[in-house]
Amino acid sequence: MHRFYSEEIPTNYAFLDHEESRHLAKVLRLTNGDKVELIDGNGKLYQCVILEAHSKKAQLKIESEIETKSLPFNVEIAAAPTKNMNRWEWFLEKATEIGIDAIHPIFCENSERKTLKEERQLRILKSAIKQSQKLKLPQLSSAVSFKDFVKKEFDGEKYIAHCHELPKMKLAKIHTSGKKALILIGPEGDFSEKEIELARSNGFVPISISQSRLRTETAALVACHTIHLINA
């Protein structure tokens, strides 16, 4: 059954935005009376019937809410966006498919990218939750500096992954199953030693996530998947 996304879902009826409506009417060529599913990005799933298959503002009637269960753990990644946007967008898509609660773009000393288009990132996340049958849209934070981000409160276990020859532990061996996890992933030039020390002073534990030297987007995805495996 085809699945659509709408942030605002009233009690009995829902309207799709222009992009979703066009996909329903022009791409999939669905018609009045067809059954579809609807998600709100907050974990709810509805079974609906199409009342008006309009290409600009399709209307759905909600017939029932389907009971769902959320994952018993939480994983958040704070990473430096890559210079090549295709790689960063690949991470957004694949992390959403695997399952991630929040993505926090951060700008570091060695960051080569200093700007992001939030609207485009959100489109990728929305498309990924529909494709992967996920119900919850990951939180996408506005990009902030590394030094400001590490000072924020977080109710869980905090880690910083880096490639320096400094003491660190393997993520797979130290994370506690069921605990919230926040993992910092650096830019292509890695975190500076000054940044690592600042993170440590704010409660982040230095970690290794692989024996190989990984690209930023690969490291972020491996870190996310490792938390899933620990909680499997």
Q: Return the CATH architecture of domain 75-230.
A: 3-Layer(aba) Sandwich (3.40)
Residue spans of the domains in the chain: they are 3-66, 75-230
pLDDT of residue 7: 86
Three-state SS sequence of the chain: CCEEECCCCCCCEEECCHHHHHHHHHHCCCCCCCEEEEECEECCEEEEEEEECCCCCCEEEEEEEECCCCCCCCEEEEECCCCCHHHHHHHHHHHHHHCCCEEEEEECCCCCCCCCCHHHHHHHHHHHHHHCCCCECCEECCCEEHHHHCCCCCCCEEEEECCCCCCCEEHHHHCCCCCCEEEEECCCCCCCHHHHHHHHHCCCEEEECCCCCCCHHHHHHHHHHHHHHHCC
Judged against a pLDDT cut of 80, whether residue 11 lies above it is answered with no
* pLDDT tens for each residue of 117-149: 999 999 999 999 999 999 999 999 999 999 999
* pLDDT tens for each residue of 74-131: 999 999 999 999 999 999 999 999 999 999 999 999 999 988 999 999 999 999 999 9
99: left (phi over 0), alpha (psi -120 to 50) or beta: left
pLDDT of residue 66: 86
pLDDT of residue 142: 95
pLDDT of residue 10: 72
Judged against a pLDDT cut of 80, whether residue 18 lies above it is answered with yes
Confidence bin at 72 (pLDDT 50/70/90): confident
* pLDDT tens for each residue of 140-190: 999 999 999 999 999 999 999 999 999 999 999 999 999 999 999 999 999
> Is 3.30.210.10 the CATH number for 3-66?
no
Instruction: Return d(Cα 75, Cα 77) in angstroms, integer.
Output: 7
Confidence bin at 8 (pLDDT 50/70/90): confident
Burial of 119 per CB tally in 10 Å (0-12, 13-18, 19+) = exposed
